Chains A and B, each alone.
Chain A
Amino acid sequence: MTRTGAQALWSHWRRNPLHLFTLIAGLALATALWSGVQAVNAEARASYDAAAATLGEGQFDQLLPQAGADIDEATFIALRRAGWLVGPVVEGQLGAPEASVRLVGIDPLTAPGGLGPVGGGGMSLPDFLQDRPVFANADTARKLAGLIDAQIVIEPTIAPDTAITDIFVAQRLLDAKGRLSRLILAPTQPLGRPPLEQVAPQLSRRAAQGGSDVGRLTDSFHLNLTAFGLLSFAVGIFIVHGAIGLVFEQRRNMVRTLRALGLPLRRLVALMAAELLVLALVGGLIGVCLGYLVAATLLPDVAATLKGLYGAQVSGTLQLRPAWWLSGLAISVLGTAIAATGALVAVARMPLLASAQPRAWVQAGGKIRRLQVLASLALLGAACALSLLAEGLIMGFGLLACLLIGAALALPLLLAGAVHLAQQLSSGVTAQWFWADTRQQLGGLSLALMALLLAMAANVGVSTMVSSFRLTFTGFLDQRLASELYVSAETIAQARALEDFVTPRTDEVLPLLKVDATLADLPAELYGARIGATLRENWVLLDNAPAVWDRVAAGEALLVNEQLARRAGLWVGDDLAITADQRLPVAGVFGDYGNPIGQAIISEALFTVLHPEVRATRFGLRTPDAAALRGALTTEFGLPAQNITDQAQIKSFSLAVFERTFTVTAALNVLTLSVAGFAIFMSLLTLAGMRLPHLAPAWALGMTRRRLGQLELLRAVVLAVLTAILALPLGLALAWVLLAVVNVEAFGWRLPMYLFARDYAVLGLFALGAAVLAAAWPALKLARTPPAALLKVFANER
């Protein structure tokens, strides 16, 4: 009995391969975009974990030198002799800047985390000490070949673009004999050892971060990717829901017959559920394969973005990780369950003697329509409430979800109202029939149109955010990168000489003075700034007290960046402690886009008093002739080329990082819109067969098939235009949420919102094109429907 029932159910797919294709394609596309994003995230996180595991990054306290300085080996020996359990680390870059490898040297005997590949299942310590190889993954090993004269051992667990070796080998390869970059502190230290200030006052201690630094910094970026993946998945699930609904509706007759012939209801529902499970797994499998391709295409850009923004090293090649392809299959099954539950419940509740005639199932009755209105109003109300009260990133995404789903549910009702109005206003018989028929077809197309609405709103929202970001960021770069030349000295002595040299040759010299600090109990950076014409004329503050620059220059006040202001709740007029016994009022807040950490700026004079040990080794130089000054610096100090950077170089690098940041978002935008276009296409194609009984009478009464085809095309265009018009305000609301809520929670700064009418018009045309393409085939099919097929409608009605 089960086999016979299953065969009957399966026969539907055999006879209607288009339905099968729609369902599988919807599932595959939904899963592809979701699992593609997950694959990118998994690869990036694996890279962070590899870095954390092999280098102990973020897991242990560290002792750091002042900015621009090294630790000499004598300090390390002094600390060890004083009882401090520290392990030395030296690190630097090898190779050309565009393909450089981070070389890290660790002493396996004193490093608290050991040296990853040594001991355990890896190389034995005596062998390591004898051979002293360099460990790297296969990609990095290829880059290192010919670059270093040391044995390279391939170790897949090493983070990408990173090589690890014994500290003596690293010092030799980096030409850093006797110099150390930092010291790692063992978690347990002997009691009674002298304080750090006594043994090594020039070092500062940085507490463990409880995990990988880059992992935490990039969380927001990955959360944004995940949100986009989820949105794409939701669009795909709209297709699946539509396909399942239509298929179930078309099988009402079969369901009634199967039950009338004695197939028990429970068995029937179980068979349908099993059938959907199989389809979900097949669709999910195809989706995971497509997702792999999506991820492989996006990953190089994501890796470049993460490196540019956060300095995080992420492998540019993709591995097949069981966690993500299994999660891809799971999300496919879950999506099918979400999309099919309603239809299965309807089958289970359908009276045996219910009408078997396929009715437009989505032409929901009054009760369902009322529920839809209520759900839409409730969600939009919740969105309004959350926009006023939401705190935290998750609530921000909750607000997005309420807004988008609420608007999607409202769409069919708004479209029905618009079409009804058009019908009322039209006078010709064809026009009235057209609008009445459009209204009738709305039910079948509503899910696809919802998908289009979401995709277009996402495009409007994200493009508004990106373009607003671009405008703000460009302006920000102009004010922050005012100096024509930036120069780095190699030693503090050279820095002193360099400053003396450039002072008479420039309009202004801006030294970079910085210490890591804890401000308002948050990790932050304290800067000492030379307040002159450059800062006064170029910096635009988000908020400031009167005479802000004079007060900061006089050491009476300070500036904080927006991140610190928001995180610590510090605004103009509030006090901030910059040392244990010194507090200063906040006189201004400055925008600091792209920086994850809090900053405070005090005057150079005050900074020098508080931190006399810190000397500037980097300077911004204001000069009318940057080329001449660059030449003079090179001749006088023999500085290597990379120590002198001009403003244009930094700006173009910063903008390039920015553009790559949003390449991924743009790609997902296009994919989401394509999925929505596909949803419309499949809905129109599926509905085409069911529409013959509606169209045949119009044909019989004298309308040509060609005319009917044209009207079908026009209908798709009209509905797409109406949807696009509604998508615009929704997209702008989405942009506002992204800029004013999500961005603030994720990155700590708020961007001004600008409008870009031309971009929206282009997007509208793109959506229109997608609708025309989607409707073209079904319309052509209708125009070519043989008269016999149309006559059959009447024959069956005998």
Chain B
Amino acid sequence: MLLTVEALEKSYAGAQGRVPVLRGIDMTVQAGETLALTGESGSGKSTLLHLIGGLDIPDSGAIRLDGHDIAQMDDTGRAAVRRRDVGIIFQQFNLIPSLDVAANIAFQARLSGRFEQSSARALATALGLGEHLAKYPEQLSGGQQQRVAIARALAAKPQLILADEPTGNLDEATAAEVMTQMLALVRETGAALVMVTHSHQLAERMGRRLHLRQGMLA
């Protein structure tokens, strides 16, 4: 099993005390599997994704990625997980504005020591970015920026891709096109994909779906 989540709980401080966001989540993800996380706004989808990606720390429970419990790791350990084992695609793209497209794509792969020029170039070509490698993020459209973010995540060859509403900032046609390219490439690399989405249409294209309601799996 690539990912095992056990009794995961998370709450945030609110005006009237702690507000529970996740209330005992148990789930698994196998290598190469694609999984959609759906749910209403505030149901805890993004929080779950952030916890799995080592971006945040749970109140209790375990998150075992390839047998290692991320919940027990310190900041350095979680940073290593994000660098090597996980590729994160954000809704807001989060590209580095001062680096050109080629450098952005290579960035995480270089951090993790897995950079291969040919593989990065192939990814860029597959995502239609071949002509834009010397451009800067501000010179790209939203769809192009998200393709760069996808290429960056895949170039590092992680075992698990986490995507948080990856097409949320794109129009319908561009979103469909980007999604098709992303799924094809994820399948090619053999990585597992956990994607948070509001869209039932997109969720339908994933191998499995989990629905969150008020911090629990429905």
The interface bits of chain B over 128-159 (1 if a CB of A lies within 8 angstroms of the residue's CB, else 0) are 00000000101000100000000010000000
Q: Which residues of B contact A254 (CB under 8 A)?
A: 96-98
Task: Please choose the segment from B13-21, B58-66, B81-89, B195-203 that sits at the chain A interface, where 4 or more of its residues have CB less than 8 A away.
Answer: B81-89
Q: Which of chain B's residues has its CB closest to A264's CB?
A: B79
Residue from the set A259, A261, A266 with the largest chain B CB neighbour count within 10 Å = A261
The listed residue (B136, B142, B152) touching A15 by CB distance below 8 A is: B136
Contact A4 B111, beta carbon cutoff 8 Å: yes
Q: Which residues of A contact B94 (CB under 8 A)?
A: 253, 256-257, 260, 356
Chain B stretch 51-90: residues in CB contact (< 8 A) with chain A: 53, 55-56, 75-76, 79-84, 88, 90
Contact B95 A12, beta carbon cutoff 8 Å: no
Contact B111 A263, beta carbon cutoff 8 Å: yes
Contact A262 B79, beta carbon cutoff 8 Å: yes
Distance of A2 from chain B, by nearest CB (Å): 10
Task: Please choose the segment from B34-42, B102-110, B179-187, B204-212 that sits at the chain A interface, where 4 or more of its residues have CB less than 8 A away.
Answer: B102-110
Contact B142 A262, beta carbon cutoff 8 Å: no
Contact B79 A4, beta carbon cutoff 8 Å: no
> With A15-B136, A352-B55 in contact, do A262 and B108 touch (Cβ < 8 Å)?
yes
The interface bits of chain A over 769-798 (1 if a CB of B lies within 8 angstroms of the residue's CB, else 0) are 000000000000000000000001000001
Contact A263 B98, beta carbon cutoff 8 Å: no
Starting from the known contacts A353-B50, A792-B138, 19 additional A-B residue pairs (CB-CB under 8 Å) come to A1-B112, A1-B113, A4-B111, A8-B96, A8-B107, A11-B99, A256-B94, A257-B95, A260-B90, A260-B94, A261-B88, A261-B107, A262-B80, A262-B81, A262-B108, A264-B80, A352-B55, A353-B55, A356-B92
Bound CA span A11–B96, Å: 9
Contact B79 A263, beta carbon cutoff 8 Å: yes
Chain A stretch 1-45: residues in CB contact (< 8 A) with chain B: 1, 4-5, 7-8, 11-12, 14-16
Q: Which of chain A's residues has its CB closest to B149's CB?
A: A257
Q: Which of chain A's residues has its CB closest to B156's CB?
A: A261
Bound CA span A12–B98, Å: 5
Contact B88 A260, beta carbon cutoff 8 Å: yes
Q: Which residues of B contact A265 (CB under 8 A)?
A: 75, 79
How many positions in chain B have a CB within 8 Å of any CB in the partner chain? 33
Q: Which residues of A contact B110 (CB under 8 A)?
A: 1, 4
Bound CA span A257–B82, Å: 11
Bound CA span A752–B80, Å: 69
Bound CA span A436–B52, Å: 43
Distance of B152 from chain A, by nearest CB (Å): 8
16 residue pairs from A and B, CB less than 8 Å apart: A4-B107, A8-B98, A8-B107, A11-B96, A11-B103, A15-B98, A256-B94, A257-B94, A257-B95, A260-B90, A261-B83, A261-B88, A262-B79, A262-B82, A353-B55, A356-B92
Q: Which residues of B contact A257 (CB under 8 A)?
A: 94-96
Bound CA span A356–B93, Å: 12
**Top 9 closest pairs, chain A to chain B, by CB:** A262-B83, A15-B98, A262-B82, A11-B98, A4-B110, A264-B79, A12-B98, A261-B108, A257-B94
Residue from the set B50, B95, B110 with the largest chain A CB neighbour count within 10 Å = B110
The answer to whether the Cβ of B11 comes within 8 Å of any Cβ in the partner chain is no
Q: Which residues of B contact A11 (CB under 8 A)?
A: 96, 98-99, 103
The answer to whether the Cβ of B169 comes within 8 Å of any Cβ in the partner chain is yes
Q: Which residues of A contact B90 (CB under 8 A)?
A: 260
Bound CA span A257–B81, Å: 14
Contact A1 B55, beta carbon cutoff 8 Å: no
Bound CA span A725–B59, Å: 55
> With A16-B98, A253-B97, A260-B94 in contact, do A353 and B83 touch (Cβ < 8 Å)?
no
- Residues of chain A at the chain B interface (Cβ within 8 Å): 1, 4-5, 7-8, 11-12, 14-16, 253-254, 256-266, 352-353, 356, 792, 798
Contact A1 B76, beta carbon cutoff 8 Å: no
Bound CA span A353–B54, Å: 11
> With A15-B136, A262-B111, A353-B56 in contact, do A1 and B96 touch (Cβ < 8 Å)?
no
Distance of B128 from chain A, by nearest CB (Å): 20
Residue from the set B76, B99, B169 with the largest chain A CB neighbour count within 10 Å = B99
Distance of A592 from chain B, by nearest CB (Å): 64
Bound CA span A253–B145, Å: 15
Q: Which residues of A contact B81 (CB under 8 A)?
A: 262
- Residues of chain B at the chain A interface (Cβ within 8 Å): 50, 53, 55-56, 75-76, 79-84, 88, 90, 92, 94-99, 103, 107-108, 110-113, 136, 138, 142, 152, 169
> With A253-B97, A353-B50 in contact, do A264 and B76 touch (Cβ < 8 Å)?
yes
Bound CA span A260–B56, Å: 10
Q: Which of chain B's residues has its CB closest to A13's CB?
A: B98
> With A263-B111, A356-B94 in contact, do A8 and B56 touch (Cβ < 8 Å)?
no
Q: Which residues of B contact A256 (CB under 8 A)?
A: 94
Contact A266 B111, beta carbon cutoff 8 Å: no
Contact B113 A8, beta carbon cutoff 8 Å: no
Q: Which residues of B contact A356 (CB under 8 A)?
A: 92, 94
Q: Which residues of B contact A8 (CB under 8 A)?
A: 96, 98-99, 103, 107
Q: Which of chain B's residues has its CB closest to A357's CB?
A: B92
Distance of A690 from chain B, by nearest CB (Å): 13
Q: Which residues of B contact A263 (CB under 8 A)?
A: 79, 83, 111
Q: Which residues of B contact A353 (CB under 8 A)?
A: 50, 55-56
Residue from the set A4, A266, A792 with the largest chain B CB neighbour count within 10 Å = A4
Q: Which of chain B's residues has its CB closest to A792's CB?
A: B138
Q: Which residues of A contact B111 (CB under 8 A)?
A: 1, 4-5, 261-263
Bound CA span A282–B175, Å: 47
Bound CA span A266–B92, Å: 25
Bound CA span A266–B83, Å: 15
Bound CA span A263–B95, Å: 15
Distance of B55 from chain A, by nearest CB (Å): 5
Q: Which residues of B contact A266 (CB under 8 A)?
A: 76
Q: Which residues of B contact A15 (CB under 8 A)?
A: 97-98, 136
Contact A260 B98, beta carbon cutoff 8 Å: no
Residue from the set B84, B90, B107, B142 with the largest chain A CB neighbour count within 10 Å = B107
Q: Which residues of A contact B113 (CB under 8 A)?
A: 1
Bound CA span A259–B82, Å: 8
Bound CA span A356–B76, Å: 21
> With A11-B96, A262-B112 in contact, do A1 and B83 touch (Cβ < 8 Å)?
yes
> With A261-B107, A262-B79, A262-B82 in contact, do A352 and B56 touch (Cβ < 8 Å)?
yes
Distance of B52 from chain A, by nearest CB (Å): 13
Bound CA span A742–B75, Å: 53
Q: Which residues of A contact B84 (CB under 8 A)?
A: 262
Contact A264 B107, beta carbon cutoff 8 Å: no
Contact B169 A798, beta carbon cutoff 8 Å: yes
Distance of A270 from chain B, by nearest CB (Å): 13
Q: Which of chain A's residues has its CB closest to B83's CB?
A: A262
Bound CA span A14–B100, Å: 11
Bound CA span A16–B111, Å: 23
Contact A259 B79, beta carbon cutoff 8 Å: yes
Q: Which of chain A's residues has its CB closest to B84's CB?
A: A262
Bound CA span A766–B211, Å: 67
Bound CA span A7–B55, Å: 23
Bound CA span A263–B81, Å: 10
Bound CA span A4–B109, Å: 10
Q: Which residues of B contact A7 (CB under 8 A)?
A: 103
Distance of A275 from chain B, by nearest CB (Å): 13
Distance of B56 from chain A, by nearest CB (Å): 6
Q: Which of chain B's residues has its CB closest to A10's CB?
A: B98
Distance of A790 from chain B, by nearest CB (Å): 14
Bound CA span A257–B55, Å: 11
Bound CA span A4–B155, Å: 15
Distance of A4 from chain B, by nearest CB (Å): 4
Q: Which of chain B's residues has its CB closest to A251's CB?
A: B98
Contact B96 A798, beta carbon cutoff 8 Å: no
Q: Which of chain B's residues has its CB closest to A261's CB?
A: B108
Bound CA span A421–B110, Å: 54
Distance of B17 from chain A, by nearest CB (Å): 20
Q: Which of chain A's residues has its CB closest to B106's CB?
A: A4
Bound CA span A258–B104, Å: 11
Bound CA span A798–B167, Å: 12
Q: Which residues of B contact A1 (CB under 8 A)?
A: 83, 110-113
